[in-house]
Structures are given as structure tokens and as C-alpha cells.
Amino acid sequence: MGTPVMSDPTVGVIGTLDTKGPEFEYLEGELRRCGLSTLVVDISCRTDVQSDAAFRPAEVARRAGRAFGDVARLDKRAAGQIMVSGAKSILEELYANGAIDGLIALGGANGTLMACEIMQAFPIGFPKVMVSVVAACDPRQNVGTTDIVLINTVTDLCLNQLTKQIFSNASAALAGMLRQAKPSAEARAKRQVGATMLGLTQECVLQAQAALEAEGAELLIFHTNGIGGAALEDLVSKGKVELVLDLTTNEVGNHLLGGVFDAGPRRMQAAGAAGIPQVVAPGATDLVNFWGSSVPARFRERRFIFHNVQNTLMRTTPEENLRIGRVMADKLNQSQEKVVVLIPLQGFSGNDRAGGPEAITLDGKPAGPWHDPEADRAFLEGLKWANPALVDIWELDAHINEAAFGQAVLHAYHACASNS
């Protein structure tokens, strides 16, 4: 029997050929030079240009149940949504049939928004490359909770010596992704445990990681910067996580108080809705995050720590922590599985401990200790609104990063895992 002939990987190319035709022609050439075949999906909203695209705009619109002539008369936003819907339908069908191995797109601001919305429909691990004029701007809406690779065009999206090199690099990057070995079946078979962490709770989480991975589990650790917590909720809702160690919950306070590490109103709800066991701790609930000196005027007299030049931490008050505790109790009361909440009575983060760092005002003047036992107790009082039949609260005379607390996390994990 002869050696089977392996076909070239095929990539879906997403773009607007009515305004970026030469750029896409050049990109296709670079992809072919890297040994990739292409299927172009033209999501142009105004003109159905004559091209060799595998799916021209009329077909894309038809797949969304509309005539392209009608789409072209709509405003940009409405037309874009129809073309996104049609392109998703086409590409998801190709993916289901094993006809595409990855995605790549070029785009300005609107083209990036459309292409990234399409890419977000595809699973983590499926290669996705977006070459964009707005890659260096705030990427959160475009990337969301997915693994889209953003490549900045530096100049506007037109052919020149810089963009030609960037298109070549993007093509080579995608080719490299497609030729990498897939994860082993053994790795995929491990129990997937979602965990949350910041640098200020890292010691606690890494203790748990070392112990649980020695037992054959795999921790998916999410940085609770807004996007991280949202990604955890998304993967839990898709059935990709079997147990949650939600040990860092600062995103709840950020959402309530207007901080920038905001994962949205549904944070801490997916596991309960899915009936997935949870171990929870109020890690970093002593703080709210802001970018640099961009602190809202209503908070300017508060206590702060400048974590770095980008991340300013504001100490929460007893009144705020009481509210955060009650909100978390309400969320946990919706759980379909019993929840264990561990309370580290000696402090909620690396900063929140006796003898810890001093807070300062925004203009750098001393503002007293960061550690605030009264505020931490207020959180516990709020949390006690939780239904004791569903939420088991363990109060521990330890700091969150101490070994004793880490051991309690493992004990709670085993108790939850044995009941699942």
C-alpha cells in the first residue's frame, strides 16, 4: 500500500473585495506560496464585484435569506449583520464537513468587526488570524473570549512594502498553526477544572494547580481582567469545564462599581446554571481596578495602590463589600449543585494582610493601611444572605495565600468532585 497523499490545508478567506480587491489578491498569493489552498467568502455590503471568490456577496446574502440588491440599500450596520449571518452559515457548514482548516481576514474598522464576529463562532484552537488596521486599539469587542490572533497593519490597509511584508508574515503564521500537531487524546481526556487568578492570589491558585494536576486533572486558569472571567463563563456554558475553582472574584465588584476589570452581569452564574460543582473564595474582592490615573471623580478621595503604570487598585469600603457579598449570595443561590465558599479571615489578596502595604491618595500622599478587616467582615455578612441548604460557607483563620488555605481549597474540591 502506498503512502497516502496529504492535501494542502484549506483556509477560509473573509473580506470585502469591493474595496480591498488588490489586497486580497495579494494575500491569496501569499497563502498559496505557503502551501495553502483558499476559499474566499466575499462579505461586501455594497457591490457584488465580478471575482473568482468561492462565495460572492449574492450567495452570502442568499444564505442569510435576503437578496443582495435589498442588502445593498440598507445602512452599513444592518447590511453588515446580514452578510455576517450568511458568511457564518457558509463557513460553519464548511467546517462541519471538514472543508476548511482555518480562517484569515483583512479589514478596516468595519471589516474587522464583521470578520471577527464570524470568527468568534468557531471553537478555541481552530486557527483564526485577523489582519487589521485597528488591532492596536481596544480589542475586547473584536476578540471577545476567543483566540483570534490580531496582526496590526501599521499603515492603512493598502498595498505597500510594509503591508506586503505583514500579509506575508500573517500567511506564514497561519500556515505554521495548521501544520502543528493536534493535542493528544490523553491531554483531552483529563478532567478540566476552571480556576480564576490574579497575581495577588497566585500563590493560592498555584498550590491547587500543583496538587490537582498531580492527580490527573488539568487547570484552565483565567486571569480575572474582565475578559478572563467572561471566557470562563463562556466555556462553562459550552460544557468545556467540569468543575470550577472560582478563587478570584474581583470582577463582580468591578461590574458593580464601574471598574475596568468588568466581566459583565452574568459573571458567577454559568456554573450554577449548568449544575457544575463550585469552590468559591473572595480572592481580590478587596479591590476594584482602573486604568492608570483614569479614576472616576466620585472615587478620587479613596485609598489606592498603583499596581503598575496601567493598573490602579482602589480599596473597597465596608458598604461596598456588603453589597458585593449580597450580590454573590444571590448568584450562588441560583446554583443547581451545592457550592462551597471559603472565607480567608486574614485577608483576601496579597495586599490585604496585617502588616501589608500602605495605601496612598491619587496624588501620592499616605492614606493608611490597605488591610481593612471591617470591610472583609462586611463581605462575609453580605454573603450570609446565601441559602445554607445550597451554599456551605467555611470560615478559615488564614490568609488566602497561606498553605493552610490552599489545603482547605483541596479539601473542598475533593468534597465537590466526589458528589459530581
Task: Inform me whether the pLDDT recorded for 324 exceeds 90.
Answer: yes
5 in a structural domain: no
- Whether 350 contacts 256, CB under 8 Å: no
What is the number of domains present in the chain?
2
Instruction: Give tens-digit pLDDT for 351-396.
Output: 999 999 999 999 899 999 999 999 999 999 999 999 999 999 999 9
Q: Can you tell me the mean pLDDT for 195-220?
A: 95
Lowest mean pLDDT among 168-182, 304-318, 319-333, 361-375: 168-182
Instruction: Give tens-digit pLDDT for 236-262.
Output: 999 999 999 999 999 999 999 999 999
pTM over 0.85, yes/no: no
Let me know whether 205 and 61 are in one domain.
no
Whole-angstrom distance, CA of residue 195 vs CA of residue 332: 17
Whole-angstrom distance, CA of residue 226 vs CA of residue 287: 14
* Strand ranges of the sheet holding 10-15, from the earlier edge strand across to the other edge: 37-42, 10-15, 102-107, 128-132, 149-152
pLDDT averaged over every residue in the chain: 93
Let me know whether 251 and 140 are in one domain.
no
Q: Which residues contact 1 (CB under 8 A, 6 or more apart)?
A: none
What pLDDT does residue 188 have?
56
Q: What is the CATH number of the domain that holds 103?
A: 3.40.50.12020
Let me know whether 309 and 374 are in one domain.
yes
Let me know whether 242 and 385 are in one domain.
yes
Amino acid, res. 345: L
If residue 29 lies in a helix (H) or strand (E), which one and from where to where? helix 17-33
Q: In 129-160, which ranges are continuous DSSP H helix?
A: 140-143
Task: Inform me whether the pLDDT recorded for 183 exceeds 50.
Answer: yes
Q: Can you tell me the mean pLDDT for 313-320?
A: 98
Let me know whether 401 and 297 are in one domain.
yes
Let me know whether 170 and 229 are in one domain.
no
Q: What is the CATH number of the domain that holds 335?
A: 3.40.50.12030
Range of the domain at 59: 10-178
Instruction: Give tens-digit pLDDT for 9-35.
Output: 999 999 999 989 999 999 999 999 999
343 in a structural domain: yes
Let me know whether 116 and 163 are in one domain.
yes
Let me know whether 208 and 241 are in one domain.
yes
Lowest mean pLDDT among 1-5, 71-75, 171-175: 1-5
What pLDDT does residue 3 have?
39
Grouping H, G, I as helix, E, B as strand and the rest as coil, residue 373 is helix
- Whether 13 contacts 43, CB under 8 Å: no
Let me know whether 190 and 154 are in one domain.
no
Whole-angstrom distance, CA of residue 139 vs CA of residue 117: 12
3 in a structural domain: no
385 in a structural domain: yes
Band the pLDDT of 1: cuts 50, 70, 90.
Answer: very low
Grouping H, G, I as helix, E, B as strand and the rest as coil, residue 180 is coil
Whole-angstrom distance, CA of residue 390 vs CA of residue 241: 21
315 in a structural domain: yes
Kindly report the backbone phi and psi dihedral angles of residue 145, in degrees, each rounded to the nearest multiple of 5, phi listed first. Answer: -105, 25
Sort 330 into a burial class: Cβ within 10 Å, 0-12 / 13-18 / 19+: middle
Point out the domain boundary residue: 149, 178, 207: 178
Band the pLDDT of 157: cuts 50, 70, 90.
Answer: confident
4 in a structural domain: no
Let me know whether 258 and 399 are in one domain.
yes
Band the pLDDT of 203: cuts 50, 70, 90.
Answer: very high
What pLDDT does residue 181 have?
57
2 in a structural domain: no
Let me know whether 173 and 29 are in one domain.
yes
Band the pLDDT of 342: cuts 50, 70, 90.
Answer: very high
Point out the domain boundary residue: 128, 161, 178: 178
Task: Inform me whether the pLDDT recorded for 213 exceeds 80.
Answer: yes
Whole-angstrom distance, CA of residue 377 vs CA of residue 380: 5
Task: Inform me whether the pLDDT recorded for 420 exceeds 80.
Answer: no
Point out the domain boundary residue: 178, 213, 246: 178
208 in a structural domain: yes
Q: Can you tell me the mean pLDDT for 213-240?
A: 94
If residue 126 lies in a helix (H) or strand (E), which one and from where to where? none
Let me know whether 89 and 236 are in one domain.
no
